[in-house]
Chains A and B, each alone.
Chain A
Amino acid sequence: MEGFTYIDIFATKGIEYLLVISGLLFFAVFWRYLSRPALAVYREYANVVPALSNWFHLPPEGIYFHQGHSWARPEGDNVVSVGIDDFAQKLVGKIEAIKFPPVGARIAQGEKAWSLQAGSKSIDMLSPVDGEILDINESLLSSPEAVGKDPYGESWLMKVKAPRVSANLKNLLSGELAGKWMEGVREKLLARMNYNLGAVSQDGGVPVDGIARNLDRERWDEIAKEFFLVS
């Protein structure tokens, strides 16, 4: 270091730049490698999207939906059958118990009416109509998991005396409107799934545990509550 000969203090700069550039290229490859499972799922996901519409049964005629995924079907004489729709059941998965309000209790449209118990979590649902409870489906008390068997038929939750049924029905969705709404809900669900590996099973089947639980094992009840419009 006497200052008598030339010393290039930036001699290695060229190689360093090359190293860094190649490092960035390798990094891009490496990142893709680590994210591979997600990409594989994305491709399957792209196949599954059409299948998604097959997940949820088409509702029969005469069903009126509340945006919180409960439904009402007028039976005549101001009596209405009330239940939860197919989407709700598939979202929550295996239901361990349903907490019904007592017979004779009054429920109001858009207010909390019953709650589903799954895991250690409890999720309320909103009533589609105003009225007084006439009857509850006893078979669901003993085997609540049967609610998924025939959500719009045998697995009705309760029968309600609804004096203002026509006014109530005006606030509910049916027919084409309901169809459009379901599509919107499905899209929202897809957005949430976000290429999540667990939510999509290889054969396109719906997970028994419920879609919500596969989205987020810890906070699945919060996801369900958002769809059911419960705060």
Chain B
Amino acid sequence: MNRTATTVQISSFKDFLIFMRSELKPKGKILTPFNLITGSIILLGALLILYRFFAGLGSVVHSSSEYPWGIWIGFIVMVGVAFAGGAYVTAFIVYVLRGEKYHSIVRMAVLNGFLAYVFYAGAILLDLGRWWNIANPLIGNRFGVNSVLFLVAWHFLLYMLAQLVEISPAFAEWLGLKKARKFLSSLTLGAVIVGITLSTLHQSGLGALFLMAKWKIHPLWYTEFIPLLFFVSSIYAGLAVVIFIGTISFRVFEKDRIDEEYKAAWDDIVIDLGKACAVTMFVYFFLQVLVLIHGKNWPLLNTGMGYWYLAELVGLLLLPGFLFSWGVRSGNPAPIRIAAVLTMLGVIINRVDYSIIAYKWYLPLSERYIPTVMEVVITLAIVFTMVWVFRWIVNRVPILKKPPQWAIEQEREEEGVERVVAYGPQLGVTMADGGSSIKREKKTR
């Protein structure tokens, strides 16, 4: 049986506080193995973060002048943002292309994207050496507009706001705030369009950050087309993550957090997402070949780094691409799920290549950057904290379950109003006198 959320009545701030206090109580078992392991890492990470702020970046990070950026930028930010690409792609499909079939997953994808940006882009704060000056690029008077990083920082901020607007109706539904929901809903399409535009630029912008490191990055990876490659790969990376997180979520969450129809529709959606991934990866493969030819770099394929490049290309691009296609063709979601994981691995390695592996590849191992255990613990702590927040929200807010009845009706009403407005002339409305006389079409009896 499907149960829609019961409407909460909040009529004052005090009500809100009382409500939040009750909501803070965990909804499931507290001492599960998952909670214990991730919880202790989160705790440890928090302590290390405190230590980092008092003792300086080098106290926690493998400091090297040769490698200014380590796994916090190279992995958390670069990979995390690519993985959050599912938000803008699904928002595009559902709100711009009006693919209603995928409505069930758009909230999950956008929530995941929003949290990813808050946590992962927020991890930048951790990595900044002089983080107390961070207000500068935002409200300061010395805007480095010539900098790609300035653009990326601003876009991150604005995009977080856009995603917040996109996901806010779900929170309004949870809190029973009907007027707020109506208002926020009306902003959705605008937020989505802004979000897609911003995403295009900052996904490619993350790649553009490497453009000035010309001779430091191995020629098989460095190209003037890095921004384009990053943008295209963010599409299939995001969709692969949606498949991954969706599959886990539908299995892991309690029955009353998930709408049965959403769950039933999931396998079908996985196949469609798989198709989108297959096509995007196909295009990306040809882009890679184009870049290879354009840079005249094919002789380099016969070197150590060349083999690594080929291994990546074949094992983590072509292989998942093939698995996606096979799954689509045979209507079987299983190879698609495997392909999604391989794709995610491929994107991780690709992004880490630019900042760590293919960056100054010529240095001997002793001078290469290898993250410290502390860095890894902090990284995991950030990821797990995000998972905990995601879980807390999905357990309460209508993300994977249907909105409450009043919200569904509100939405229908909005569509109905739009229909009348759009069909004024056909419905016999005469607007010449500015009047609003609407004659509804008589139904034949």
Where the two chains meet, the residues of A that have a C-beta atom closer than 8 Å to any C-beta of B are 11-12, 15-16, 19-20, 23, 26-27, 30-31, 33-34, 36-37, 67, 109-110, 120, 171, 197, 216-219, 229
Contact = CB atoms under 8 A, between A and B. Distances in A.
B100 interface: yes
B282 A27 contact: yes
Contacts of A34: 275, 278-279, 325, 328-329
A217 B261 contact: yes
A120 B289 CA distance: 52
Interface string B87-102: 0000000000000110
A26 B104 CA distance: 33
A217 B100 contact: no
A152 to B, nearest CB: 22
Contacts of A27: 282-283
Given A27-B282, A37-B329, A15 B293 contact: yes
A19 B293 CA distance: 9
Query: Size range of the interface on B?
Result: 20 to 34
A20 B278 CA distance: 18
B100 A219 contact: yes
A31 B290 contact: no
Given A171-B445, A217-B264, A30 B325 contact: yes
B286 A109 contact: no
A219 B331 CA distance: 21
Contact of A19 (B265, B278, B282, B289): B289
Nearest to A229: B443
B279 A217 contact: no
Nearest to A172: B445
B411 interface: no
Contacts of A16: 290, 293-294
A26 B281 CA distance: 13
Contacts of B443: 110, 229
B1 interface: yes
Residue from A20, A197, A218 having most chain B Cβ neighbours under 10 A: A218
A19 B325 contact: no
Given A19-B289, A229-B443, 4 more contacts: A16-B290, A20-B286, A30-B278, A67-B444
Interface of B: 1-2, 100-101, 104, 261, 264-265, 268, 275, 278-279, 282-283, 286, 289-290, 293-294, 296, 325, 328-329, 331, 443-445
A67 B445 CA distance: 8
Contacts of B1: 120
B445 A37 contact: no
Contacts of A12: 293-294, 296
Contacts of B286: 19-20, 23, 26
A174 to B, nearest CB: 15
A98 to B, nearest CB: 20
B9 to A, nearest CB: 26
Residue from B100, B278, B286 having most chain A Cβ neighbours under 10 A: B286
16 contacts: A12-B293, A19-B286, A23-B286, A30-B279, A33-B325, A34-B275, A34-B279, A37-B329, A171-B445, A197-B331, A217-B264, A217-B265, A218-B104, A218-B261, A218-B265, A229-B443
Closest 10 CB pairs of A and B: A23-B286, A110-B445, A171-B445, A34-B328, A218-B261, A12-B293, A15-B293, A12-B294, A217-B265, A34-B275
Contacts of A109: 445
A11 B325 contact: no
A191 to B, nearest CB: 17
Interface of B is mostly: helix
Given A20-B290, A30-B282, A217 B268 contact: yes
Contacts of B328: 34
Given A23-B286, A217-B265, A218-B265, A33 B296 contact: no
Nearest to A108: B445
A7 to B, nearest CB: 12
Contacts of A216: 101
Nearest to B325: A34
Contacts of B289: 19, 23
A140 to B, nearest CB: 24
Nearest to A30: B282
A120 B2 contact: yes
Nearest to A216: B101
Contacts of B278: 30, 34
Nearest to B274: A34
Nearest to A14: B293
A219 B325 CA distance: 28
Contacts of A67: 444
A37 B331 CA distance: 8
Nearest to B261: A218
Contact of B329 (A19, A26, A33): A33
Contacts of B325: 30, 33-34
A217 B443 CA distance: 28
Residue from A11, A30, A216 having most chain B Cβ neighbours under 10 A: A30
A229 B444 CA distance: 10
Contacts of A229: 443
Contacts of A197: 331
A39 to B, nearest CB: 11
Nearest to A66: B445
Contacts of A26: 282, 286
A33 to B, nearest CB: 6
Contacts of B101: 216, 218
Contact of A36 (B261, B293, B329): B329
Contacts of B444: 67
B233 to A, nearest CB: 17
A171 B325 CA distance: 53
Contacts of B445: 109-110, 171
A129 to B, nearest CB: 11
